[in-house]
Amino acid sequence: MRVIAGQAKGRKLRPVPGNVTRPITDRVKEALFNILGERVLDAHVLDLFAGTGSVGIEALSRGARRAVFVEQDGRALRTIRENLQATRLRERADIVAGDVFDYLARLEPEQKFDIIYVAPPQYKGLWARTLRSLDRRLPLAPQGVIIVQIFPKEYEPQSLTHLELTEQRRYGSTLLCFYELKDELVSP
């Protein structure tokens, strides 16, 4: 696991000890950032269930303005801190130690993110619960995107008020689902 491009290109990232997380593979991460392209520049990124911090760190390395990492596991939190130090990207990062749903409930209405990445533990329904919470709270900027990383068999259509599925990409045992604001909610 490494940083693929940008300021910290080539830096190795430490894994979380034990089987606490399921980190994104370099192949999937590279595909994701190829899809995101220029959207990353100056973006405010929210990395939920952050694990190693790999996605938020990649975004920072590629020019994101700021990244917020939300994680509750102590080993993962230590790993995120170490990875941010190793990549020298700590000054543009905020680490939130705690539950994703508590964090989302406390967000101020004006707080918006351009990219929100959701990669919860598998087979617990947390991805759908998180997506519904994001749909209610709407911390997504008008031109923003939410990406959910799940195992393909976990996917089921969601009934959402403000968000819509715009794209899906499958890479082996990883499915990336892209959600954006419905057209009527995006100001011209």
Tokens (6 digits) for 117: 């990445």
What's phi and psi for 183, nearest 5 deg?
-50, -40
Domain that holds residue 86: 26-185
In this structure, is residue 15 part of a structural domain? no
CATH number for the domain including 134? 3.40.50.150
In this structure, is residue 48 part of a structural domain? yes
Instruction: Please report the pLDDT score of residue 188 as a whole number.
Output: 53
CA angle, 100 then 102 then 106, to 5°: 115
42-66 confidence digits (pLDDT tens): 999 999 999 999 999 999 999 999 9
In this structure, is residue 78 part of a structural domain? yes
In this structure, is residue 90 part of a structural domain? yes
141-180 confidence digits (pLDDT tens): 999 999 999 999 999 999 999 999 999 999 999 999 999 9
Q: Report d(CA 52, CA 23) in Å as an integer.
A: 7
90-119 confidence digits (pLDDT tens): 999 999 999 999 999 999 999 999 999 999
In this structure, is residue 21 part of a structural domain? no
Instruction: Please report the pLDDT score of residue 113 as a whole number.
Output: 98
Mean of pLDDT values over 67-87: 96
Tokens (6 digits) for 166: 């715009």
Q: Report d(CA 85, CA 34) in Å as an integer.
A: 25
Contact indicator for 13, 65 with CB cutoff of 8 Å = no
DSSP element (H, E) containing 145? strand 140-150
In this structure, is residue 8 part of a structural domain? no
Predicted model pTM = 0.95
Count of other CB atoms within 10 angstroms of residue 145: 21
Instruction: Please report the pLDDT score of residue 183 as a whole number.
Output: 82
Number of structural domains in the chain: 1
In this structure, is residue 126 part of a structural domain? yes
Q: Report d(CA 168, CA 5) in Å as an integer.
A: 23
In this structure, is residue 176 part of a structural domain? yes
Q: Report d(CA 175, CA 22) in Å as an integer.
A: 13
